[in-house]
Amino acid sequence: MVNILFINPVTPPNIVRVRVSMGVASLSAILKREGHKTALLCPSKFDNSISEKIKSFKPDLIAVSTVSDQFDLAKEIIKSIKHIPVIMGGIHATVATDECIKIPGVIGVCIGEGDEALPEFLRKYGNRKDYTDTKNFWFKENGKIIKNPLRPLIQNLDALPFPDREIFEEHIPKENLILEFMASRGCPFQCNYCINKVLQGFYGIKGYLRRRSVDNLLKEINQVLAEYKLKHNRFPKRLEFHDDLFTADKAWLKEFADKYKQQVNQPYAVNARIETIDEETVLLLKESGCVELKLGIESGNERIRKEMLNRHMTNHQIISCFSLCKKRNLPTSSFNMIGIPGETEKEIEDTINLNRIVKPSVVGVSVFRPYQGTYLYDYCKKNGYLTDRKVNSFYEGESIINLPTISKEKINYYYQIFQTAVYHPNLLPLVTFLVNLHLYKPMMRFYYFVRRNLAKLR
């Protein structure tokens, strides 16, 4: 048996609430099934809580899982750890393995999914056997780097235990009203800014999108709901499915909608693609309890979508999709990016105007980030757009690239006024005035602070 401490650096909770990492939760469940002991730390900054957790849990091994935005924090934490071997995993470790394996104290890096690789490594590690041939891992030994090949992806997701939510309990706010689930892994599309295109390059497109059976998913949901009801004496506000693409398989969706309505009957939200939405899909979602359909517009300009993002839906398709949802009273939210390479002010205005036309229930906007390993990262690097500026989330409104077509200041301006420009264009002069005086951000922070605290009192 091995005591393994997962460290999962997160965005500061004042920016966004801490969520269950389904990857870490799944790995913890697998390791517990194998007889190992696990614990979790979710730091948003470097402080004494890290050393205190290490002292109290006494891990034999530390596993750090990080995304790119939290990599600098992860590196700082790892460098502070003494006399305990560290392994790394997660998205950043997969796309920047060379960078991660060189960190002092890191003995190995897991690439891709670790469901089979991590327990195999721990069996060998715990029994003091040679582990350096474990597939999906790079290891550092005697100054050399051993690079093992990838194993095939797990196709039967039903064979995995349900994610271990217990280790996240102390990190999730007690007033949390949302329960999170995953019904699938992967996405068949190849957006130029997304990790899925990178992983398809590793594994191939065939067999990359995998889906749990409806019965297996509903069994987990009902089990988690029962535990939640017992603990809080109420049901959550809603469920959220974090699948990249919930609506890819119409036959699966039909079975899900029918059984979910009968067996669960709780409000839920999903992610989908414009191209997968038709009237039948909208009806299935609406009638089974969907209260938010999250759709990526990303850019309102067809040239930017096609040439830069590799997204080929037309404005007509986008408008038709949102119209279908309105017709059936299915609430929607739109994802949008600004500061995309090649984008001008006019094309950001196109995105605002398209959102005005489709009128989503919720409008989300983020500033484009070039993540390592993606096509657009390489494009930005090739054209000299990259800077050394660091961020700890994609919720920040300042661009980290220098674009010849639009300034950072203009991108930040549009980020701040975006939602007002969509919903309340008549208030734009006032908001612009506040932005120019640097008063808009503190006012919005105060507004969200009041709203959060009022919600707690209800």
What pLDDT does residue 44 have? 86
The pLDDT mean for the chain works out to 92
Task: Report the half-sphere exposure of 259 (CA within 13 A, side-chain side).
Answer: 15
Q: What is the tens place of the pLDDT at every residue in 193-208?
A: 999 999 999 998 899 9
For the chain, give the percent of residues with pLDDT over 70. Answer: 94
Phi/psi of residue 6, each to 5°? -85, 135
Task: State percent of the chain over pLDDT 90.
Answer: 79
- What is the rounded CA–CA span in Å between residue 145 and residue 163? 32
| AA letter at 255 | E
* Residue 126 confidence (pLDDT): 92
Kindly tell me if the per-residue pLDDT of 395 is higher than 90.
Answer: no
* pLDDT-based confidence at residue 345 (cuts at 50, 70, 90): very high
CA nearest neighbour of 87 among 56, 49, 33, 124 = 124
DSSP letter (8 states) at residue 374: S
Going across the sheet that includes 37-41, the strands are 37-41, 3-7, 61-65, 86-89, 106-110, 137-141, 144-147
At residue 391, the pLDDT reads 74
Would the pLDDT of 450 be above 80? no
Q: Which residue has the higher pLDDT, 161 or 449?
A: 161
Q: Is 295 helix (H, G, I), strand (E, B) or coil?
A: strand
The DSSP H or E segment spanning 283 is: helix 279-288
Do 28 and 40 form a contact (C-beta atoms < 8 A)?
yes
Give yes or no for a contact between 236 and 266, defined as CB atoms under 8 angstroms apart: yes
DSSP notation for 27-47 = HHHHHHHTT-EEEEE--SS-S
Radius of gyration of the chain (CA): 23
pLDDT at residue 384 in the model: 97
DSSP result, 200-248: HHHH-STTTSEE--HHHHHHHHHHHHHHHHHHHSS--SEEEE--S-TTS
Distance CA 457, CA 194 (A): 39
Tokens of residue 447, six digits: 């507004």
Pairwise CA distance, residues 153 & 209, whole Å: 10
How confident is the model over 213-238, as pLDDT tens digits? 999 999 999 999 999 998 888 888 99
Nearest alpha-carbon partner for 70 in 8, 4, 18, 6 = 8
Query: What DSSP character marks residue 307?
Result: I
- The one-character DSSP state at 149 is P
Q: What CA–CA distance (Å, rounded) separates 297 from 322?
A: 11
pLDDT band at 458 (very low <50, low <70, confident <90, very high): very low
Q: Hey, what domains does the chain have and what are their CATH numbers?
A: 3-147 (3.40.50.280), 177-423 (3.80.30.20), 428-458 (no CATH)
Structure tokens at 313: 């839906």
